[in-house]
Structure 1
Amino acid sequence: MTKSERIEALARKQSHLKYRDVELAVKSLLE
């Protein structure tokens, strides 16, 4: 699963979060 796939999956599940917020969260987790 690529980083962008993970972001998209999370963004779908967490609909109350903005896509950008999910993207930042995934980046901070993976770094």
Structure 2
Amino acid sequence: MLELLLISFVFWCYFLRYSCIAYMPTLFTY
């Protein structure tokens, strides 16, 4: 599950670099 989340995070970071910074705080809250 954690690996899937990481892959998804990298996916969005690659295509939507600005969204990567926006979702980063949300990722650490879980």
**TM-score, structure 2 as length reference:** 0.44
Q: More helix per residue: 1 or 2? A: 2
TM-score for both structures, normalised by structure 1 = 0.43
* Higher relative contact order, structure no. (Cα contacts within 8 Å, ≥ 6 residues apart): 1
Q: Which has the greater radius of gyration?
A: 2
